[in-house]
Amino acid sequence: MDSEEHAREKMVREQIQRRGVNDPNVLAAMRTVPRHCFVEKDLQRMAYHDRPLPIGFDQTISQPYIVAYMTAQLQLKPEDTVLEIGTGSGYQAAVLSRLVRQVYTIERFQALADIARDRMVQLNYDNVQVIYQDGSLGLKNYAPFDAILIGAASPAIPQPLIEQLKVGGRIILPVGGSGHQILQRIKKLSDGSLETEELIPVVFVPLRGFYGWHEDDWK
């Protein structure tokens, strides 16, 4: 076992399993995806620490526990198609890709989208498609989705994402502003209504876009 594999194993054991995430498929994905490949070289020594890290443009790669926790809460199946909002470095999309048939991920910063797309090619994650656009609008051409993961805090669930979710599908997202955010899991019921469950307090960067926070509103 090389040093990175050892660090991932320790990360899974001490940061993720110890805090209650025990889905074996999620744990296997977290052991497999090389987080150090999704951060800048000068930060790679901290890649498996229990903390978010900056990736440029005032964005971050989430701490490993949060990535694992949000992924587990989606209760994914191998045949699922998943939409991710907020590609960032591409790490969360890579984890999702080990669990499902197809991942579409949207990033609003073109430079980050380009970097993430290149990483997917280099690491052979060929079931991930990175798209540069306003993530709050979703991806109508590829809908409906079995699950949607939003990696940025929204004032509310963007309406297009509700419409693009299959009946029985799940959305997980942080809802709130800079001072208070709650991670929510939403399930779309057969009559089109939503079942909402509040999970844990979190801290995320704001979701920007038409259905997200605008510059003057983030507070």
Is the pLDDT reported for residue 9 higher than 90? yes
Residue 218 near residue 153 (C-beta atoms within 8 A):
no
136 part of the active site: no
CA 105 to chain centre: 9
Which class is 3-201 in CATH? alpha beta
| Cβ within 8 Å of residue 23, ≥6 positions away | 71, 72
> One of 3, 62, 89, 190 is an active-site residue; which one?
62
Domain boundaries, the chain: 3-201
* Calpha distance 95→35 (Å, rounded): 10
**Phi (first) and psi of residue 201, to 5 degrees:** -70, 145
Q: What predicted TM-score, i.e. pTM, was given to this entire model?
A: 0.95
Extract the tokens encoding 77: 């199946």
Mean pLDDT over each residue of the chain, to the nearest integer: 94
The mean per-residue pLDDT over the stretch 105-119 comes to: 97
Extract the tokens encoding 157: 């669930």
The mean per-residue pLDDT over the stretch 75-104 comes to: 98
pLDDT score recorded for residue 144: 97
* Calpha distance 177→51 (Å, rounded): 20
Judge if the upstream peptide bond of residue 206 is cis by omega within 30 degrees of 0.
no
- Measure CA of the first residue to CA of the last residue in the chain; give whole Å: 46
Amino acid at 6: H
DSSP SS3 for 218: coil
pLDDT in tens, 12-41: 999 999 999 999 999 999 999 999 999 999
